[in-house]
């Protein structure tokens, strides 16, 4: 059974483990901790049968009231089952409750799977940032209104 809950500080090491397995240049544990303390109400854990299998770390700017998806991953063997989408929908509901106006993110231009997922939830590509990532690959910024 799947369950989405708020992240707590005790989750930081396990979030780092999923981050490390999911990205070629993962955020470190200390950075994950400071992102979490920046906006704990926008950080979520997805569990299956009590085991953490995904997370989403969010942040925000107060003016304009815009949220930012800072990191988001599902463990590889659980991908393609709609769980990532569930976690994003959970965030979007939370953003609506907290009266955010919009949400943005950066995604590697080669990450077709994630781009399709975001587009299926009405995110649109806003711009391209050259050499955004450590390996010099480019990112798209994507934006969605929250109503």
Question: Could you list the residues that contact ligand COA (CB under 6 A)?
Answer: 22, 72-74, 79-85, 105, 107, 111-114, 116-117, 120
Smaller CB separation from ligand COA, 12 or 69: 69
- Least CB distance from residue 147 to ligand COA, whole Å? 21
Measured from the CB atom, the residue of 63 and 104 that comes closer to ligand COA is 104
In terms of DSSP bridges, do strands 139-145 and 124-129 run parallel, antiparallel, or are they unpaired? antiparallel
Distance CA 31, CA 36 (A): 8
> Would you tell me the crossing angle of helices 112-120 and 83-97 to the nearest 10 degrees?
50
Q: Which two tokens stand for residue 97?
A: 């409750």
Q: Which is nearer to ligand COA, 99 or 119 (CB)?
A: 119
- Minimum distance, C-beta of residue 49 to ligand COA, in the bound complex (Å): 16
In whole angstroms, the minimum distance from the beta carbon of 12 to ligand COA comes to: 18
**Burial, 63: exposed, middle or buried (Cβ in 10 Å; 0-12, 13-18, 19+)?**
exposed
In this structure, the number of other CB atoms found within 10 A of the CB of residue 17 comes to 13
- List the end-to-end C-alpha distance of the chain, in Å, as a whole number: 30
Catalytic residue ranges: 106, 118
Residue number, 62 or 77, with CB nearest to ligand COA: 77
Minimum distance from residue 85 beta carbon to ligand COA (Å): 3
């Amino acid at each position: 059974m799947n369950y989405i809950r708020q992240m707590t500080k005790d989750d930081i090491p396990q979030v780092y483990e999923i981050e490390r397995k999911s990205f070629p240049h993962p955020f470190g544990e200390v950075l994950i901790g400071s992102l979490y303390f920046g906006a704990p109400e926008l950080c979520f854990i997805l569990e299956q049968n009590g085991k953490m299998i995904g997370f989403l770390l969010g942040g925000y700017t107060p003016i304009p009231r815009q949220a930012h998806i800072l990191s988001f991953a599902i463990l590889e063997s659980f991908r393609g089952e709609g769980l990532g989408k569930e976690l994003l929908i959970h965030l979007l509901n939370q953003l609506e409750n907290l009266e955010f106006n919009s949400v943005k993110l950066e995604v590697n231009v080669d990450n077709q799977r994630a781009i399709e997922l975001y587009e299926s939830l009405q995110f649109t590509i806003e711009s391209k940032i050259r050499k955004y990532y450590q390996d010099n690959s480019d990112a798209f910024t994507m934006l969605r209104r929250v109503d």
